[in-house]
Chain A
């Protein structure tokens, strides 16, 4: 089991550019979560999916953020246009069902200059 795989590991971009973060959940896991972590705000839940369907996106900060899960093995988090305040570590996590723990990837460290 390779675990949750996120790419890229690091992303540096200029303000105004589009950023796409990618996640491959553990095979067979029905739930997928996107979190953002900063020193000021800690770990924030942005959105989560069940069986590829977005269930709760109340944590998505603005319309600049969007997430998709076109199939059970892939999800993207897109920021367009990016801003310096979006700089953070973005984590993807998956779980097998609604009673199971989350398995996190190693995150994508995003820096927007």
Chain B
């Protein structure tokens, strides 16, 4: 399974765009990249998933370069409620959906 590396923590201010980059140098051909968000006392919640190039939904954008060895989660105009831990996962769903969580990035949004 591909190992992921993320910054341990990041700080931002309300209204700013936040970009969290994840490294996954040994990503395999069949692996997808998925990001989850976790608030205290809650289970992780799916944010976005992609395989290559760019994916956008109502919450975030995911940028994946051609070599797929990294990915960047972009959160536009963050608010205080975006303070959470963000996890980047890489997994081969064709092998049964086994997903391993890394340490995550603790994002703190300040007023």
Q: Which residues of A does B touch, CB under 8 Å?
A: 4, 31, 33, 35, 42-45, 48, 50, 55-56, 91, 93, 95, 97-99, 101-107
Contacts and interface: CB of A to CB of B under 8 A. Distances in A.
B96 interface: yes
B57 to A, nearest CB: 12
Which secondary structure dominates chain A's binding surface?
strand
B96 A91 contact: no
B44 A106 contact: no
Interface residues of B, number: 23
B96 A102 contact: no
Contact of B45 (A42, A98, A104): A104
Contacts of A91: 43-44
Contacts of A31: 96-97
Instruction: Please give me the 10 A-B residue pairs with the lowest Cβ-Cβ distance, nearest first.
Output: A104-B43, A101-B46, A43-B101, A98-B97, A98-B93, A99-B93, A91-B43, A104-B44, A31-B97, A55-B96
11 contacts: A4-B43, A31-B96, A43-B101, A48-B98, A56-B98, A98-B93, A98-B97, A99-B32, A104-B43, A104-B45, A106-B42
Contacts of A99: 32, 93, 97
